[in-house]
Structure 1
Amino acid sequence: MPKSTTDQRLLDGDGRTDWVHTDPWRVLRIQSEFVEGFGGLAEVGPAISVFGSARTPRDHPDYALGEAVGAAIARAGFACITGGGPGAMEAANKGALRAGGLSVGLGIELPFETGLNEFVDLGVNFRYFFVRKTMFVKYAEGFVVLPGGMGTLDEMFEALTLVQTRKVTSFPIVLLGSSYWGGLLDWLRDSALTRGTIGEGDLSLIHLVDDPQEAVDLVVQGARHGLAEPADTTTSSEAM
């Protein structure tokens, strides 16, 4: 027979806290983040996710580009979802808020960023990147990608992989800024495609534009009218 009951062990305040760092407890934390995210965003309505660098200064042209994107999203009747941080994310939230739209920020626990920016209407904070990424995709009709670094590239390529493998449907991905993104697309075409690690149709999943309104229009058109089936991507058996 056990020497103590389950209730007794639950209520026994012996001061030890190492149990909160065990994997079973982490599973509950992950579950709670999904529940909080789904509950908080369930009534957001049609939305567009915007990605970009947290390091973009407020006096940089890319910041103005972000504001214009956020405003165009709001005028189209969509909510604007960003990572809720500074830089390009702040710019898009600011543009959406000042244009009368819903400004959403999905924050992440990082050692070098503190809290959500001041232009967020609805904010949800996450510990886990993969939970946060699920929310970006689940509640958005598509992505507009401003110039950004590692985090932006990660989010962009994950979105491309989801579309290429048909884990999501009718999901436009628009890169804004040909001077910034053009070299990457050249590499995909000249190196990856030539080597056969991606298929010709994979490149058609990406739109490259310079005008913020055009970027938003591409996503809105895809959301309201549906996109044609993506071109055949089976020339390579690998996902991007």
Structure 2
Amino acid sequence: MTDDDRSPEPGQQAGPVTRSGRSRLETTTDQRLLESRGPADWVHTDPWRVLRIQAEFVEGFGALAELGLAVSVFGSARTPPDHPMYAAARQIGRRLVEAGFAVITGGGPGIMEAANRGAADADGVSVGLGIELPFESKLNDWVSLGINFRYFFARKTMFVKYSQGFVVMPGGFGTFDELFEALTLAQTRKVTNFPVVLFGTQYWSGLLAWLREQVLGGGYIAPIDLDRLVVTDDIERVIATMNTDWDEGPAERPE
């Protein structure tokens, strides 16, 4: 193979900046922020980091302020396009737009791409909130409004502030992180009127059983904390749940 036959190296997304080749960074902005050891000069740059953090919030608020009703869809970046869950996420994205919602995802591949693609299929607003990672280079091609963040906490704020609810599909640690953060915010009344749907009963049944037997059984949560969750394989129930007035409380969710 000659040099002319080689594919270009994928770019590294560092906030709004794309880096490749010698310009790639060995660490992410979050890593450098959270690093407590090393040369003292890192400590003295923290006040300047505050300005960058502030800029991320300003950029996010400015881009999403007029978004309107929206639902966030979470799930694995590793789900291939031929997987049934990819097809389900695409259908959910389309149906959410048809029901009057914008669709928000993390902007990556897999489930996120599928939901953005479904929103695009219905000519809706397809939002991608990306994050600087060493192994993902750009937002997926189906995002119509995209923002790349350096800091996870700024990105998470946008998910919660601009979403009316979460649809959580099978995924890994990142998906669990978003799920339990939403539940914690609802439990502590930081957010209200916030439905959370777990899509894929077979995938989530083990976690739900553990929560009931060990966490609820041990008195670590209250029954209402589990009542916040709607578990289903029915796409229309996902849409109906997002359309329900949850100001009346979780007990009013559709059966």
Band of TM-score, shorter chain: 0.7 to 0.9
Q: 236, 241, 246: which one pairs with 1:213?
A: 236
SS of corresponding position for 1:66? helix
2:195–2:246: 8 Å Cα contact kept in structure 1?
Answer: no
1:61 Cα shift? Answer: 0.6
Give the Cα separation in 2 of the matches to 1:20 and 1:58: 44
Q: 183, 197, 200: which one pairs with 2:220?
A: 197
SS of corresponding position for 2:194? coil
Q: 215, 229, 239: which one pairs with 2:249?
A: 229
2:104–2:128: 8 Å Cα contact kept in structure 1?
Answer: yes
Give the Cα separation in 1 of the matches to 2:44 and 2:240: 46
Give the Cα separation in 2 of the matches to 1:227 and 1:19: 46
SS of corresponding position for 2:247? coil
TM-aligned CA distance change 1:227 to 1:209, over 3 Å: farther
Give the Cα separation in 2 of the matches to 1:79 and 1:20: 40
1:49-72: CA deviation from partner (whole Å, max 9, x where unpaired): 110000001111110011011011
2:64 partner letter: L
CA RMSD, Structure 1 to Structure 2 (Å): 1.4
SS of corresponding position for 2:167? strand
**Which of these two proteins has the greater Rg computed from alpha carbons?**
1
Give the Cα separation in 2 of the matches to 1:39 and 1:20: 30
Give the Cα separation in 2 of the matches to 1:20 and 1:37: 26
Give the Cα separation in 2 of the matches to 1:116 and 1:202: 34
1:43 Cα shift? Answer: 1.1
1:198 Cα shift? Answer: 1.0
1:42 partner letter: A
1:123 equivalent in structure 2: 146
Q: How does 1:63-142 map to 2 (within 5 A)?
A: 63-142=86-165
Q: 170, 176, 188: which one pairs with 1:165?
A: 188
SS of corresponding position for 1:195? coil
SS of corresponding position for 1:63? helix
2:58 equivalent in structure 1: 35
SS of corresponding position for 1:227? helix
1:164 Cα shift? Answer: 0.5
Unaligned runs of 5+ in 2: 1-40
Instruction: Report the TM-score when normalising by structure 2.
Output: 0.80
1:52–1:147: 8 Å Cα contact kept in structure 2?
Answer: yes
Give the Cα separation in 1 of the matches to 2:126 and 2:243: 17
Instruction: Report the TM-score when normalising by structure 1.
Output: 0.85
1:197-226: CA deviation from partner (whole Å, max 9, x where unpaired): 1111111011101012211220122xxx34
SS of corresponding position for 1:185? helix
SS of corresponding position for 1:100? coil
1:148 equivalent in structure 2: 171
1:25-84: CA deviation from partner (whole Å, max 9, x where unpaired): 111111000000000101111100110000001111110011011011110011000000
Unaligned runs of 5+ in 1: 1-17, 232-240
1:84-130: CA deviation from partner (whole Å, max 9, x where unpaired): 00000000000010112110000000001111000000000100111
Q: 203, 206, 215: which one pairs with 1:180?
A: 203
TM-aligned CA distance change 1:151 to 1:22, over 3 Å: same
SS of corresponding position for 2:82? coil
Give the Cα separation in 1 of the matches to 2:221 and 2:192: 19
Give the Cα separation in 1 of the matches to 2:247 and 2:153: 26
1:211 partner letter: D
SS of corresponding position for 1:119? coil
